[in-house]
A and B are shown apart, each in its own frame.
Chain A
Amino acid sequence: MAIASTFLGGAKGRLLAPSIPFRFFATAVLFQGLAWLALLWAAPSVPRFAGGLGWPLASLHLFTLGVLMMTAIGASLQLLPVATRQAVPAAKWPYDLVWSLYTAGVVGLTSGMASAAPTVLLGGAIALASALLIFLFLLVRNLRGAKGMRLVVVHGWAACWSLLVLLGTGLSLAGGYSGLALFERQSAIGLHVTFAGYGFMGMLVMGLSYILVPMFALSDNPAPRWASLSVALAIVALALALLVSFGMLPTHFFRLYLGIGAVAFAIHVALMVQSLRTGMRQGLGKSFVLVRLGWTGLGASFLAALALEFQVLTVSGPTLFGVLLVGGLLTMLLGVLSRIVPFLASMHAGAGRRRPPTPSSLTAQRPLDIHFYSHVAALLTLLVAVLLDSVWLVRASAVVGVLGAAAFGVFFVNAWQRMTQIAPGIDVPTAPKPQA
């Protein structure tokens, strides 16, 4: 007769020790608070920010590298092996190394940006690049051995190539402050923004969404034909951006890249909305309101980019585009993270138990609610601040953003505590065997 200890048997091979993904998530939560604080400090320069060293650039990278990429790395390290049926390495040290180098890199890079210290900035960039190359190795190894999930794997490969472009342009830009630029600055900035926001983050988020959204909504997989069209168009768009930036195509092809990218994203969102509409679980709560708002922000970022291309937007246009792109990704990721954290906690705490705890029993709803309202208010205020060129509104948005980040931190710590209370010593799971 089977016994309860066989619960989750076999999962060990594909589940990392919970401290690994949770460490990345915890650091992202911390950096979220620091990013809003940096924005508060940077407020006078934010509405008309046009690049260059200083607190606005530091705040931007605390959001992008500290929150977005940190979360994406943690999530993909755990979710991709599950999706592609790959065993994760038994050794923890590669993950420890990625996390240590990456965290040190974010601190170094953003400190160098904030204090306008090129050497510190370059040191941070080198640490970041080292961490991301190890992460890339782990990602490539996983994708090479993938069994099935072709759609997710294609997105994964596109994210890998985007990461290489992102790394090359990032190092060039960081080195540029020390006279070590590899590429012309304007081209490098364009590629850096494109391949960070739409390339690496966009492809990874879209790929993982094809599993996560139907899984949370309990719906059928999206139509493969449309999903394949979406990813194909996205890859074509990224290739166009690359060719334009290297002068291999005329600059007006940049508009074509934006148009094709927007269509690819629109197809993806339509598939996801259909998945949510037809799913068995209809009440996905505020987390998926955030996801929908994130999609809206990302869609609007394409429009803002096109408006910039056609010179419709005013001097605040680049900042507006940045807020929509980063804010959209941030909002979507926080929505998904508020689902993934209790979900992963439930999977880990359930190991060896007849009745695993439900994700909802590991969710502190009140802090999540506070985070929801604070985050939405902070981003909307920031958008208005940029449009009205108001420093005080930037400050107000940053204060509300800090409050939201703190509330999300309470939710996160609570989930971890509840998980470890249910399953003490959870980082050393046993390997149960099937029984007759």
Chain B
Amino acid sequence: MCAVLPKTAPREICSESARSARTPGEQWRDTDGIHIEARGLAPPAPLVAIIKLVESVLDATPVIVHHDRDPVPLYAELAQRGWIAQRIEGETGEVRLRLSKGS
């Protein structure tokens, strides 16, 4: 599935097959939400990119973060914006998070 991304998206890639060749900071939409590739970005760029993306989401679409470390400063920022994070299974060495608007 492919849909319009938020304005902050630097690039749009819609296919599953392209996943292995993501560039740092890339965003794409899939069936489970809007994904962001945070791996390869130097701190605090992942935090800033994720918060920019979260703030651009106006509906209840979840955000899936692909990270190479646990983004410890992110959680308080999310809480301030009424979002919550859940860790979900990802690739080996990946920290994958599902961010959603808290109920």
Where the two chains meet, the residues of A that have a C-beta atom closer than 8 Å to any C-beta of B are 2-4, 6-11, 14-15, 82-83, 85, 148-149, 211, 214-215, 218-221, 280, 343, 346-347, 350, 354-360, 432, 434-436
A8 to B76, CA, bound (A): 11
Q: Are A347 and B43 in contact (CB under 8 A)?
A: no
- Which DSSP category, helix, strand, loop or mixed, fits chain B's interface? mixed
Q: Are B75 and A350 in contact (CB under 8 A)?
A: yes
B89 at the interface (CB under 8 A from A): yes
B32 at the interface (CB under 8 A from A): no
Q: Are B72 and A436 in contact (CB under 8 A)?
A: no
Q: Return chain B residues, CB-CB under 8 Å to A215.
A: 43-44, 47, 73
Chain B residues bordering chain A, tally (CB within 8 A): 30
Which of B42, B51, B85, B102 interacts with A280 by CB under 8 Å?
B51
Q: Return chain A residues, CB-CB under 8 Å to B84.
A: 354-355
Chain A-chain B contacts (Cβ-Cβ < 8 Å), number: 97
Q: Are B70 and A10 in contact (CB under 8 A)?
A: yes
Given A3-B86, A434-B89, also A343-B76 (CB < 8 A): yes
A14 to B87, CA, bound (A): 17
Q: Return chain A residues, CB-CB under 8 Å to B21.
A: none
B79 at the interface (CB under 8 A from A): yes
**Interface pairs (14), CB distance under 8 Å:** A7-B86, A8-B75, A10-B95, A14-B72, A15-B72, A82-B43, A82-B72, A215-B73, A218-B48, A221-B44, A347-B75, A354-B84, A357-B79, A434-B88
A215 to B73, CA, bound (A): 8
Which 9 A-B residue pairs are closest in the complex by CB-CB distance?
Answer: A2-B86, A10-B70, A6-B87, A215-B44, A436-B89, A11-B70, A346-B76, A11-B72, A434-B87
Q: Are A214 and B44 in contact (CB under 8 A)?
A: yes
A354 to B82, CA, bound (A): 11
A350 to B79, CA, bound (A): 10
B19 at the interface (CB under 8 A from A): no
Q: Are A7 and B45 in contact (CB under 8 A)?
A: no
Which of A7, A347, A358 interacts with B80 by CB under 8 Å?
A358
